Chain A
Amino acid sequence: MSQRSVLITGCGIVSAIGQDCGQVLDSLLQVRTGVGPLKYLKTEHTEFPVGEVKLSDEEMERMMNIAPGTPTTRTALMGMIALHEALGEAKLSREDLKECGFVNGTTVGGMDKSEQFYLDFIENDSRNAYISTHDCGSCSEMIADRFGRFKMITTISTACSSAANAIEMAADMIRLGEADIVVAGGSECITKFHLNGFNSLMILDHNQCRPFDAERAGLNLGEGAAFVVLEEAGHAAARNARALARLSGYGNACDAFHQTASSPDGEGAYLAMSKALKEAGLKPSDIDYVNAHGTGTPNNDESESQAMMRVFGKDLPPVSSTKSMTGHTTSASGAIETVICILALRNGFIPVNYAFEHPMENGIVPNMDLQKGCKLRHVLCNSFGFGGNDSSLVLSAVE
């Protein structure tokens, strides 16, 4: 079987720094952080800055023409907005979707409604419709069904690498001829559940997060959704679809170290990046930019630094963590950062690692100057999750 090449022919995004690709690009070029005081989530923990999508659930329902009173969740609504943009850009109709796969990544799913209606679920029948929106799979169905029925649907839940693994699975389907088009990505809203969970693990920064900074003190939770349309090259050419980038390689590895901590030498991250490069047939020196996982926790940034230094040695390209502007969008981050990488490739710039000041000992020094007018050939996008589920994607420019 000849090698089937995987192109990206559409992308959509909603995040704290913009509600479509154009807005996100503008924020990246203006170096504008979306992290700020809590506005939409009702929580006692107002001390933590977050990267919220600047829309209420009601506003999103109106944008997506969802009838008031329809059971839905914030994660599903954000997913719909991102998917709407991606399908529009790829010019895929409701009819076309019958031949396309859909792979979503989420972990929190419908927890925003479950934490609101939990006592109702137990005590009465007033909110029963929201029991069915709790799990991850129902979230994917709500997002997909807004636009039609796909050929198949599934959901990956590998914590903060969920969306990256969704993109990998989608690419495998295309390479094997299981489908010519698969739409993949992820969605996750901030909930009290995981804000408190990350707080219980003591990994939230009380200030704007500072990935790779010596004085970094944790992450800022973010939220959002992003989807990319992956398409076999010949199929895209035959229907005159515009290629935005090529997914030239990807790797998935397990750190196999600890449920919530990364190994000191970043073994899983090292393996994920190495596999991605090998599959792409590239040398480390071919990579012009790395969008790091870079959460801002002391543990991740140290471990990821070690892994990057092991992979790249003296050839370390510019690195930045755009979580410094979007917040950590957890399960969606792999897709959100894939879209950011595509924007960087297409517009020839290297995003800034916002808020970095002090180099850490034995760490990498991230990119602090907004470099414009660059010709980027290949970029690497890292996504690492709890449990050591580490994934890396290589995205390449198309002529």
Chain B
Amino acid sequence: MIMEKKSVKILSAKQISIQNPLCEEWMENPLNYSEDYVRAVDPDFKQFISAGDARRMGKLLKRALATSLSALQEGGIENPDAIITGTGFGSIENTELFLDALVREGEQLLKPTQFMQSTHNTASSLIGIHTHCHGYNSTYSQKGFSFDSALYDAWMQFRIGRIASALVGSHDEMSPVFSGFVRKAGHVKEGEICSEAAVSVLMAESGDNAYCTLDGVKLLDSPSEDTLKQVLADMTAGGIDAVMTGKSGNAENDSWYGFLDAMLPGIPQLRYKPLFGVNFSSSATGFYASACCLKKGGVPAVLSASGKAKECCKGILVVNVVEGRHYSFALLKPVCGR
């Protein structure tokens, strides 16, 4: 049964990033970095994965499994109806090992395990295997728009009535060699920390103690000014406390969010990239941080880009712009009665 409009509860959200893992310590005591390439702070994986299994998994898979299991545990769901994942590069460390051996040592004696993990959907599949979930399972790989695409798909699956719960995540790791490549390609810009992130969000039609609700998702490529105005008008019709932007401090990146100054004047702007760094799963950290603000009912000063948003009673619009062309909008609202 197709629904016109639907509100979905965010039951839990977990991260492993350059902030302390699987907790919200960053809200009070964020870790600060002066380096321009920082790897994630990993938790003790033993509580999620046996040592034997862990040896066969790259960092991305371990983190994807840990954030997923942690999100499922807090949300009280063992078998979600859908598992939908974003990743820009997939398990790039194993991809690089396989590629490096292929190029330097020739086409003999290459390792199947590295090849297997180079496929982008290994995280979504691994979570499916681990949780015995035979339901909807998909993976998106659209640069820094991968999480946004996965979220959009989940939103559609709920509206179309196919699922009542979904685990939506986005996971990217970054090897030293590829950190050089992404700088050269401009995926990570001057002044931005090249980082890693794994984020898992559990959402469901119903459930107690939700962080917030998801009330709309929109994806656009190269929208006109009129389209942007219309989307912002629709999404902020019920009022918002703040807009979460992907501003990083880099002038070119930040200019992509200029339309918000003009079209949402007076609305405080937040930013997460100085805290979590930049990678193809960055927008997932922004979504996660927004959900945490709504759960706590307030925005920590460390997220403020302009204006002050202390209260969180109306909602946060999460906006992501990739390369000045891909736009995503996700509307998060506080749980009624909180």
Interface string of B71-115 (1 = CB under 8 A from A): 000000000000100011110000000111011101110111001
Q: Does chain B have a CB within 8 A of A152?
A: yes
Complex interface: chain A residues within 8 A of B287 (CB) = none
* Contacting pair B149 A200 (CB below 8 A): no
Taking the closest CB of chain A, its distance from the CB of B171, in whole angstroms, is 13
Taking the closest CB of chain B, its distance from the CB of A216, in whole angstroms, is 20
Q: Given contacts A136-B141, A387-B121, is CB(A271)–CB(B90) below 8 Å?
A: no
* Contacting pair B129 A256 (CB below 8 A): yes
- How far is it, in angstroms, between the C-alpha of A186 and the C-alpha of B289 when the chains are bound? 34
Complex interface: chain B residues within 8 A of A40 (CB) = none
- How far is it, in angstroms, between the C-alpha of A175 and the C-alpha of B323 when the chains are bound? 29
Q: Given contacts A115-B99, A259-B116, is CB(A173)–CB(B221) below 8 Å?
A: no
From the candidates A45, A107, A254, name the one contacting B137 in the complex (CB within 8 A): A254
- How far is it, in angstroms, between the C-alpha of A253 and the C-alpha of B124 when the chains are bound? 12
* Contacting pair B186 A176 (CB below 8 A): no
A137-161 interface with B by 8 A CB criterion: 137-138, 140, 149-159
* Contacting pair B100 A118 (CB below 8 A): yes
Complex interface: chain B residues within 8 A of A176 (CB) = 2, 156, 159-160
Complex interface: chain B residues within 8 A of A121 (CB) = 180-181, 184
Complex interface: chain B residues within 8 A of A165 (CB) = 138
* Contacting pair B221 A114 (CB below 8 A): no
Interface string of A256-269 (1 = CB under 8 A from B): 11111000000110
Q: Does chain B have a CB within 8 A of A25?
A: no
Q: Which of B129, B137, B186 has the most CB of A within 10 A?
A: B137
Q: Does chain B have a CB within 8 A of A125?
A: yes
- How far is it, in angstroms, between the C-alpha of A43 and the C-alpha of B106 when the chains are bound? 9
- How far is it, in angstroms, between the C-alpha of A354 and the C-alpha of B145 when the chains are bound? 41
Stretch of A191-199, A338-346, A375-383 that contacts chain B: A191-199
B178-199 interface with A by 8 A CB criterion: 180-182, 184-187
From the candidates A118, A132, A136, A196, name the one contacting B115 in the complex (CB within 8 A): A196
* Contacting pair B122 A157 (CB below 8 A): no
Complex interface: chain B residues within 8 A of A138 (CB) = 143
Taking the closest CB of chain A, its distance from the CB of B91, in whole angstroms, is 11
B216-272 interface with A by 8 A CB criterion: 219-222
Complex interface: chain B residues within 8 A of A1 (CB) = 2-4
Taking the closest CB of chain A, its distance from the CB of B78, in whole angstroms, is 13
* Contacting pair A254 B83 (CB below 8 A): yes
From the candidates A45, A156, A255, A387, name the one contacting B140 in the complex (CB within 8 A): A156
Q: Given contacts A196-B107, A259-B116, A388-B128, is CB(A253)–CB(B135) below 8 Å?
A: yes
From the candidates B112, B128, B280, name the one contacting A256 in the complex (CB within 8 A): B128
Q: Does chain B have a CB within 8 A of A44?
A: yes
Taking the closest CB of chain A, its distance from the CB of B71, in whole angstroms, is 18
Taking the closest CB of chain A, its distance from the CB of B135, in whole angstroms, is 7
* Contacting pair B112 A254 (CB below 8 A): no
Complex interface: chain B residues within 8 A of A257 (CB) = 129
* Contacting pair B221 A151 (CB below 8 A): yes
Q: Given contacts A149-B221, A149-B222, A153-B326, is CB(A200)–CB(B180) below 8 Å?
A: no
13 example contacts (A-B, Cβ-Cβ < 8 A) are as follows A118-B103, A132-B186, A136-B141, A155-B141, A156-B141, A157-B90, A165-B138, A259-B126, A385-B121, A387-B126, A387-B128, A388-B129, A389-B139
- Interface positions of A (Cβ within 8 A of B): 1, 3, 43-45, 102, 107, 109, 111, 114-115, 118-119, 121-122, 125, 128, 131-132, 134-138, 140, 149-159, 165, 169, 172-173, 175-176, 178, 192-194, 196-201, 252-260, 267-268, 271, 385-389
- Interface positions of B (Cβ within 8 A of A): 2-4, 83, 87-90, 98-100, 102-104, 106-108, 110-112, 115-116, 118-122, 124-126, 128-129, 131-143, 145-146, 149, 152-153, 156-157, 159-160, 177, 180-182, 184-187, 219-222, 280, 325-326
